[in-house]
Chain A
Amino acid sequence: MTEFPIGRVREVVIVGAAPPHQLNRPHPERTALVEARGALLYWDVLDSRAHPAAEIHDPGLAADWLWEIYGHDAATAILTDADAIATEWDSPVLDAARRLAHLRWAEAWWPSSHAAGLPALDRGLLRAEAAWRTAAVEHLLDDDEAVERALADTDPTPLFDTAHGGGELAAALTALAEDYGIELRREPAQLRREDWALAAGGDHPVDIALASGGAPVDWAHVPQGLVDAAAGATWILRRQPAGLAVTVTVPAAPEAADLPLTARIADIDVPLRLNPETGHFLGEAEAPQALLLLPADQRTLHVFAPDFTTGDDPPDPADAPHRAALIEYARSRLGDPDASLAERTA
C-alpha cells in the first residue's frame, strides 16, 4: 500500500506533496525519473514504495495513462479533488516504468567505488535494458521519439555473451530496432581494463609534510564513473627545494575514464590527471607561503571536473548525508535477483 498526500498549486497536481502544497522533489542523486506526458514521475531510490511521486502539470494529458501507474480509483481521485490517495495497484506498465527510472538512475548515479567494493556497471547493458523498458512504456512518455533515442544509444553486441537472459534481450532489441528503423551500433567489444587493485590512499612518499587534509568529492561536481564514490580526496603541502608544493590525490572509480579534474584549495587550482598505474588522479602545483598561514577551515579542498562544471559553486556539505545510504543500497542491488541485468552481472 502506498499512501500519498495530494497538493494542488494552480494547475499543477502534486502527488506526494510536502504539506501544505509544496513540491517534494527528492535530491537529484536519489531520484529515479520518468518524464511522462503531462507529468514527471519520480521514485526516491532510498524509498522502497512501488509507486512514484508525481508532478502533474497537464492533467488533461496525464488522464490518458495515469490509471496505469496508480490504478483507476486512485488516478480518478488524483484528478478530481482528493487530498490524499492510497493504492495497491500493480501492473506490468508500472513495473516497466519503475525499472526504466531505476536504470536511468544507475546510469547517472551508480556509486562505483573500490573503497566500497562496488564495481562499475556496464553502460551498454544499462542502456540496452533501458531501451527495452522504454518500448514497454512508450505510450505514456513525453518524448514521442523516446524509443528511437534510446535505441540509438544501444549496442547489443556484448549482450550475446551476457548471462541472465542477455541473448534474449539482444534478440528482442534487434527486432525492436527494425520496427523503429534504427540501425543499432555494432562496435568491436571494448576490452575491459583490468580492475585496479584496491589502492589505499596516501601511499606516495611523504618527506616533509607541512600540512595535509582531505575532503569527500561532491558527486554533483564530477561526471558519472570518474571518481571513487566512497573514497575522499587528500592533499599534502610539502617543502621542496624551489618552494612549497601542494599535491592532491583523488582515488578513481573502477574503469574510470581519463578526463581531467581540478582540485581547488584556497584559491590554488591543481590540475589532476589519471595515473592508470595507481588508479588515482594525481596532480601537483606550487603553493604560496600564505597557504601555510591560512586557518585550517579556509584550506578547504574542492575537487571538480572542469569539463562538467564551472567549479564556481563550492560543495555543499549538507548534500552528503544520503550518500552512505545510496552506497548501501547499491550494494544490496548486486545480489538481488530482481535487479537489472547490469547490476546482476557486475
Chain B
Amino acid sequence: MVQGIAAGAAVPRGMLIADAWSQLGDDVAPLSNASGRPLARTVKLLLDPLVLRPNLNPRFAGGLIGVEHVDDLRRAVADAGPALAATAAWFQLVKRARRRAGVTEGNPQDLYFQRCFELAHLHGDPADAPDAEAIAAATVAEVRAERGEVTVDRLRRFMTDPDQVVRLAGLLQRAWDDRPAPRPAPHDGLTAFLDTCATAPSDAQWNALAANGVGSAEAVELDEPRVARGYGLTARERPEPPQLGDRASKKALPPPFDRSIMERLFAAFTSVFQRESMADIPSMVVGEIHRSAAAWQLADEPSRVAMALGRDASTGIGYGGQATPASDANARLMARYAREAYVHAVQRRPDPESAMVPDDLRREIMDVQEPYLRRLWARLHGRELRGETTAAGDVWDLLDGVFRSVLLDQRDRLRRLLERDGGRP
C-alpha cells in the first residue's frame, strides 16, 4: 500500500498505521472496520495510549511522521501484533459473554477494549487459557457492577441515610459559608493560549494559567446577577447552594449549578465510570459537596481555566452574523458554526425559526454558548471524577469536541421534529 515515499518526505501517520495494521492480518479483524482500517476507538483506546504513546514518543505524534521514523512506527505496531491479536480474541469472547448475560448498555469498545488488552497481557491468547470463558464472564459482570444500578443504589442509600443527611447538610452549609473571597484577577493569558491551542499548544502557558489561578479569578463574575444564567449554568438569578437531593433521573437534568449533589454524581455514573480511578462513595459525596462551593463548581484549577477558555472561545457565536473573532480558537468555533449552516442546507433540515421548532431548541441554536458551556462543564466534571488530568495538548480537542457534540445533537433534534415516527430521544 505504501508506495513511492520520497526520501526526506513526511508520511501521513494514518497511512503508516493502515499499512502496518494490514500486516497483522485477520487476527485483528474484530478491532478493524469494514475497510480493514483500525477502528477509530482502536486507535484512540489501544494504539495511541498503549502502543505508540505519542506523549512519550513525540516522533509518533502528529498527522505526518518523519521518514526516518517510519520503520520505528511500523515495528512498534508489528511488535504489538500478538498482544493485539489476543486482545481481539478476548474482545470476541467478552462480547459473547455480554450477549449471554443480556447486557446491552454502553459501547462495548469503550467498555472492554482496554480490559481485553490487560487480559491479553495477563493470560495471553484466550485459546491458551483454560478458564477463558469464565474470565470473560467475570469481566462483563465486573464492568456492569461498576456502572450499573449497584453503584447508583449505593449512592442513593448513602445519601438518604438519616444520619448522613444531617452530617452532609452541615458540610454543604459550611462549604458554602466558607467560600473564599474573590481574588484579584492576575494577568490574563487566556487569549494568548486560545490563539495557539489548536495548532501549537504551549505547556508553559497552560501551566501558568493554572498556577496563577486565572480560572478561579474568572469565576468571580458568576456571582453577579444573571451572569451564570447568561452562560446557561443556572436558571436562577445567581448560583445558590445545591440541594443534597434524594433522586435523580437521566432525563431533564436541570442546568449544572442547579443540580443536586445526587444528580451531579448520578450523571457521572451513567456516563463513563471507571472504578479504579474513582473514589469510594462517601468520599465522592463529600468531594462533590466541596466542589459545588468552589469556583465554577469544579475542584481542579485546570478545569476552571478550561471553563474560562470555553467561555471566551464560544463568545459571539450565533445565528445571523457573527462578531469579529477574539482569538484563533474563537474563529475556529465560529467557522464550525458557519459550516453547520451549510450542512443544514445540504441535509434539508428545517429552519430553526420555523413554527414547529420548540422554543428551547430554537433558543439553543440561536445562542449556542449556553448549551456549550453546560456540556463543557459536564465533561470537565466527569474528567475530575475519573481523575483525568488535562494537558495543554488536550484542551483544543475538548473545546472543539464539545462544540461539535452540541451542534450534532441540535441537528438530530431538528430532524426528528419532522419524522412521524419520532425517533428516540
Binds B, one of A159-167, A191-199, A302-310: A302-310
Known A25-B342, A63-B64, A307-B354: A93·B347 in contact at CB below 8 Å: no
Residue B346 contacts which of A28, A178, A259, A308 (CB distance < 8 angstroms)?
A28
C-alpha gap A310/B9 in the complex (Å): 53
Look across to chain A and name the residue whose beta carbon is closest to the beta carbon of B64. A63
A31 interface residue, CB < 8 Å from B? yes
A180 x B343 contact (CB < 8 A): no
In contact, B421 and A187 (Cβ under 8 angstroms): yes
Kindly report which residue of chain A lies nearest to residue B344, judged by CB atoms. Answer: A28
B187 proximal to A (CB < 8 A)? no
How many chain A residues touch B (CB < 8 A): the figure is: 64
A307 touches B418 (CB 8 A): yes
CB < 8 Å neighbour of A108 from B110, B342, B346, B423: B346
Q: Is B156 an interface residue (CB 8 A)?
A: no
Which of A96, A135, A148, A224 contacts B348 (CB under 8 A)? A224
A92:B35 contact, CB within 8 angstroms: yes
Of the candidates A40, A59, A93, A149, the one whose C-beta lies within 8 Å of that of B37 is A93
Q: Given A72-B15, A310-B354: A33 and B346 within 8 A (CB)?
A: yes
Within 8 A of A (CB), among B397-415: 401, 404-405, 408, 412
Interface centre among B105, B346, B353, B401 (most CB of A within 10 A): B346
Which A residues touch B412, using CB under 8 A?
149
Min CB–CB distance B336 → chain A (angstroms): 8
- Tell me, yes or no, whether A284 is within 8 Å of chain B by CB: no
- The answer on a CB contact under 8 Å between B33 and A136 is yes
Could you tell me the distance between the alpha carbons of A148 and B5 in the complex, rounded to whole angstroms? 36
Answer yes or no: A75 CB below 8 A from chain B CBs: yes
CA distance A144 to B400 in the complex (A): 12
Chain B residues 319 to 367 lying within 8 A of chain A, measured CB to CB, are 332, 335, 339, 342-343, 345-348, 350-351, 353-356
Please give, as numbers and ranges, the residues of chain A lying within 8 Å of B424 by CB-CB distance.
152, 185
Interface membership of A139, Cβ < 8 A: yes
Contact call A136/B34, Cβ cutoff below 8 A: yes
Contacts of B256 in A (CB 8 A): none
Given contacts A96-B35, A180-B109, whether A220 and B354 have CB atoms under 8 Å apart is: no
Once A93-B35, A137-B35, A138-B33 are accepted as A-B contacts, the answer to whether A220 and B43 lie under 8 Å apart by CB is no
Interface centre among A28, A75, A142, A308 (most CB of B within 10 A): A308
A104 within 8 A of B: yes
A64 adjacent to B63 (CB under 8 Å): yes
- A72 and B14 within 8 A (CB): no
Per-residue B-contact encoding for A38-60, CB less than 8 Å = 1, 0 else: 00101000000000000001111
A239 to chain B, nearest CB (A): 32
Q: How long is the Cα–Cα vector from A259 to B417 in the complex, in angstroms?
A: 11
Please encode chain A, from 70 to 99, with 1 for each CB lying within 8 Å of some chain B CB and 0 for all others: 001101100000000000000011001000
| B348 x A64 contact (CB < 8 A) | no
Tell me which residues across on chain B come within 8 A of A148, comparing CB atoms.
Answer: 107
Taking CB as reference atom, which chain B residue is nearest A60? B63
User: Who on chain A is nearest to B18 by CB?
Assistant: A68
CB distance from A277 to the nearest CB of B (A): 20
Give the residues from 296 to 346 in chain A that come closer than 8 angstroms, CB to CB, to chain B.
Answer: 305-310
Contact residues in A for B3 (Cβ distance below 8 Å): 72
How far is it, in angstroms, between the C-alpha of A136 and the C-alpha of B36 when the chains are bound?
8
Chain A positions within 8 Å of B356 at CB level: 306-308
Say if the beta carbon of A109 comes within 8 Å of chain B.
yes
Tell me whether B35 and A76 are in contact (CB under 8 A): no
With a cutoff of 8 Å between Cβ atoms, the chain A residues found around residue B342 in the complex are 25, 28, 40
On whether the beta carbons of A181 and B418 are closer than 8 Å, the reply is no
| CB within 8 Å of A: which B1-33 residues | 2-5, 9, 12-15, 18, 33
Task: State whether A308 touches B354 (Cβ < 8 A).
Answer: yes
Query: Which residues from A are CB-within-8-Å of B43?
Result: 139
B12's partner among A67, A135, A139, A187 (CB-CB below 8 A) is A67
The CA-CA distance from A63 to B14 in the complex, in Å, is 8
**Contact among B110, B339, B355, B421 for A306, CB-based, below 8 A:** B355
Chain A residues near B343 (CB, 8 Å)? Answer: 33, 35, 40
Chain B residues, CB < 8 A from A309 = 350-351, 354
Complexed CA–CA distance, A152 and B416 (Å): 12
Would A60 and B420 be within 8 Å (CB), given that A67-B15, A72-B3, A181-B108 are in contact?
no
Contact A66 B12 (CB under 8 A): yes
B9 engages A76 (CB within 8 Å): yes
B95 in complex: contacting residue of A65, A72, A179, A310, CB < 8 Å: A179
* Closest Cβ–Cβ distance, residue B38 to chain A (whole Å): 7
Are A104 and B104 in contact, with the CB atoms below 8 A? no
A109 vs B9: C-alpha distance when bound (angstroms): 43
Given contacts A57-B335, A63-B63, contact A308 B351 (CB under 8 A): yes
> Could you tell me which residues of chain A, from 153 to 179, have a CB within 8 Å of some CB in chain B?
153, 178-179
Q: Which residues on the A side are within 8 Å of B36 (C-beta)?
A: 92
Contacts of A61 in B (CB 8 A): 63
Cβ A178 vs Cβ B95 within 8 A: yes
The 7 A-B residue pairs with the shortest CB-CB distance, nearest first, are A63-B63, A64-B14, A307-B356, A136-B34, A28-B345, A108-B348, A181-B107
**18 pairs of residues in contact across A and B, judged by CB atoms under 8 Å:** A35-B343, A58-B198, A60-B63, A60-B199, A67-B12, A68-B14, A68-B18, A96-B34, A138-B33, A139-B14, A139-B35, A145-B405, A149-B412, A178-B99, A181-B110, A187-B421, A306-B356, A307-B354
Additional A-B contacts beyond A139-B38, A139-B43, A307-B355 (5; CB < 8 A): A25-B342, A63-B63, A139-B40, A178-B108, A179-B95
Give residues in B with beta carbon < 8 Å to A.
2-5, 9, 12-15, 18, 33-40, 43-44, 62-64, 95, 99, 104-111, 198-199, 332, 335, 339, 342-343, 345-348, 350-351, 353-356, 401, 404-405, 408, 412, 417-418, 420-421, 423-424
